Amino acid sequence: MKCLKSLLLLALYINFQSLSQTENNVVEDQQLKTTYELDNANINDAAQLSRDVRFDLNVVSRDELQSLGILSMPQLDNFFAHKTKYGRLLSIYELKVIPDFDHETIQELLPFVLVRDLGIYRSSNGLLKDVLDEENNYIIARTERALQPQQGYSIQASPGTRYFGNPYKYYIRYRIASNHNFSFGLTMEKDAGEQFLWDHSKRQYGFDHLVMHFQLKNRGRLKNLILGNFSVSAGQGLVFANGMYIAKSSESVLFVKRNQMGIMPFNSILESGYFKGLAATVALKKVDLTVFASQKRSDSEINSDTNNQGESYINSIYTSGFHRTIREFDTKNTVNQYDLGYNVRWSTPHFNIGQSSVYTSFLDVGTGVKLDIIPKSYVYNANAFRGSSNWVSSIDFNYYFRNINLFGELAQQMAKGRALVLGTQCALGAKMDLALLYRNYSPYFNSFYANGFGEYFNNNDEQGAYLGAKYTYSRKLIFTAYYDLFKNKQLRYGQYSPGLGSEYLLSVTYKPHKKVSFYMQWRQSVKPKNLSADEGPLYGVVPTLRSVMTFVLKYDLEQRFSLQTKLYRSVYRQVQGSTGLVLAQDIVYKVKKWSVSTRFALFDTDGYDTRIYLYEKDVLYSFSFPAYQGKGLRYYLIAQYSLNKKIKLWLRWVHTQYHDIQSIGTAGELIRGSQMDELKIQIKWLL
């Protein structure tokens, strides 16, 4: 059998020479199709968490492969059926013989997967030898800043708003990692306005933010061990979830389900949403047991006046990560946050069931006594979490039968609230994929690390039903759509009465030629929202419409030169209507050691309500998703130069010119003038 496979692979090799092993536009295409309201902080640095180490196809799980968002349900079934029938893959070229794996699909997969040593594992020479031989070993250093003077750095700024540090943002990252063996990473970051400081009481040693991890994998029964910063993912994200999760996009089927990624190293510049301590996964026949313990310091302002028990309290945990002013620095690392949790999972090839729990408590760093969280007395905070500790537990399942995947999770938060997710993904033949999902989140459900499917970010007070479909007429023509209906029973920020909302999307991707593609998307939502002060009675709630039309035309003139034209139109309607328009032209040119990308964009929107978020190219492992609002133009230039095989350099310059305002930003970020320039420089050195 191996001889026959080797001969077949040799014959296929000639057909594969045109498949590029370099980075492609998969990540950019996925960002293009995501929601029009994304937090830029969550976009930045998030995609690299799963892309930094490629998946080995001989040991990859179904959830890991599905998380890439490239393979359809039938393709996933065919891939694992092929491995069951023929055994380990000998080469990446073997993908060509799997049904439904065409040239384009394999080309999209290549940057994210590999087959180690033609499918034959090397004998272990010891951890130290593996570390010394590992090629995925690099350092990245980056600096960036706004070139115009900002209010926070002025000597005229008041003491309470003046920034301690300089206007430069610094980022250094070291990573050495093997795909299924070990990983070590160290990330250091200083935001603009923060200072370099050595302060043990604030746990700052030079850089303001520091994350580090050491990971061992596949050591007998020990499947995974992480010391340092890590994240945990299990079930449908109602207890804990890692990474960035974009459920509603024009990829209307695959991204609906949360994938079981287990414990993962945390390397991001995000300063919240992670654990810090020890996590381990042990394999016991069909059962995987994951346990973790975490202790980290979080930011908050401790109130000197006391709660009903005579103790100090906090209103919330701060997640911005900024420590630039006196007030921001005083709130740094004031709360000790402890987390204990586990996940136990029983698995067979077609079914797995898991149970998860996490216990969280908060203590005052200074006194060591428990800290109550008491939210501010706003009407929309009526059901927000209160107390000094929280416990959340759940049970989840996954069932695979042919082209059908059933999944769900039921969670309980102490004795107060429940949350439920039930869904299915199925393939109706070779061309049609469907997804159905129902969720019901109690107004009393509060989970600090939840990030499940939903319209609102906190998985609280929401009922909804989602239907998504994808129809592949041919490789050249693909249609996707979804409809989501949701409601809430309690008040929310900006919505002072319960209400019913809906959202739908229609998209078409047409590729008449391998060098030409056209993409069109229409997304519209109707949500209850408070009337603005000048449009009706105070706290009056009315249905509010927002829609965005997207048109993208991409044309590759030759291997080195490509063009992409994008047109976006947004509409916002409450009592009166407003509109927005963005026209952008992207150009990419590659020659020898150089790669140059540029964009010129014109935007004209009536205000914040008609803002339009656009994905922008950035330096490696950095992502930009700014909101275009107001009237003006914006253009950028990115130059990448390969000095040699080990060293690459990037430079990114962005210029924004507004025609309707005379100042940009607010508070310490305020720039007096209508222009803003941003500069970013990065180097990557393979060791």
pLDDT tens-place string over residues 419-465? 999 999 998 888 899 999 999 999 899 988 888 898 887 888 899 99
pLDDT tens-place string over residues 175-233? 988 767 888 999 999 999 989 888 877 778 888 889 999 999 888 889 999 999 999 98
Q: If you compute the radius of gyration of the chain from its CA atoms, what whole number of angstroms results? A: 25
Rounded Cα distance, 289 and 281, in Å:
5
- At residue 245, the pLDDT reads 63
Question: Who contacts 52 (Cβ-Cβ below 8 Å, separation ≥6)?
Answer: 175, 177, 267, 621
Helix, strand, or coil (residue 89): coil
Rounded Cα distance, 545 and 573, in Å:
5
Q: For the chain, give percent helix, strand, coil, nearest 5.
A: 15, 50, 40
385 has which bridge partners? none
- At residue 424, the pLDDT reads 94
pLDDT tens-place string over residues 93-146? 888 888 888 777 888 888 788 887 643 444 456 666 666 667 778 999 999 999
Angle, vertex CA 217, rays to CA 213 and CA 220, nearest 5: 145
**219 is written with which tokens?**
């050591």
At the fourth CATH level, which superfamily is domain 543-687?
Answer: Porin (2.40.160.10)
Domain residues of the chain, as ranges?
2-18+54-119, 543-687
- At residue 135, the pLDDT reads 72
Residue 25 has pLDDT above 90, yes or no: no
Phi, psi of 5 (to 5 degrees): -65, -40
- At residue 537, the pLDDT reads 63
Reported pTM: 0.85
Helix, strand, or coil (residue 625): coil
pLDDT tens-place string over residues 382-416? 788 888 899 999 999 999 888 889 999 999 998 78
462 has which bridge partners? 441
- At residue 535, the pLDDT reads 60
Residue 246 confidence class, pLDDT cut points 50, 70, 90 = low
Alpha-helical segments (H) within 255-294 = none
Rounded Cα distance, 3 and 249, in Å:
44
